[in-house]
Amino acid sequence: MTTHVLATEGGPRLALLSCVLRQKAAGAGWEVLADSAHAPSGVNGLIQHPDHLEITHPVGAVRVSSVQVTVDEYYAARALRCGVSVGLDLSRIYLYSGASTSPVAPASLYASSGNLWVTGLLELG
């Protein structure tokens, strides 16, 4: 796992979390893209649960600065929303359709170019 570390002037060191999540084929399961065009940082795994996705990021964090997950233009045009519950070594991503307050099953979402974008900073000890 590659982890990029940002050194702040006179302050904490921050681990960069960044990755693209995609289900490449219907029913294939979601994955962290790592290819010639996509290079994750700090994220070393993804687990698909019935009602959410879980990414693992064991970077040695002691505090969360910020983590965001956003949909790409394909999913945005189809009213998909997401929210993230962030921890020091894993985060849970919940997906919602339209105005619904019940999570969508990640397995039910598939688009050959539909992505979730994860970006965040975690303070290191």
pLDDT attached to residue 50: 97
Tally of structural domains, the chain:
1
User: Which domain, by its residues, includes 104?
Assistant: 5-124
Q: What is the pTM of this model?
A: 0.94
62-106 per-position pLDDT tens digit? 999 999 999 999 999 999 999 999 999 999 999 999 999 999 999
The mean pLDDT of 32-52, rounded to a whole number, is 96
Cβ atoms 46, 53 nearer than 8 A:
yes
In this prediction, residue 11 has a pLDDT band, given cuts at 50, 70 and 90, of: confident
Q: Do β-strands 80-86 and 45-48 pair in parallel, antiparallel, or remain unpaired?
A: unpaired
pLDDT at 56: 98
Cα–Cα distance, 121 to 47 (Å, whole number): 21
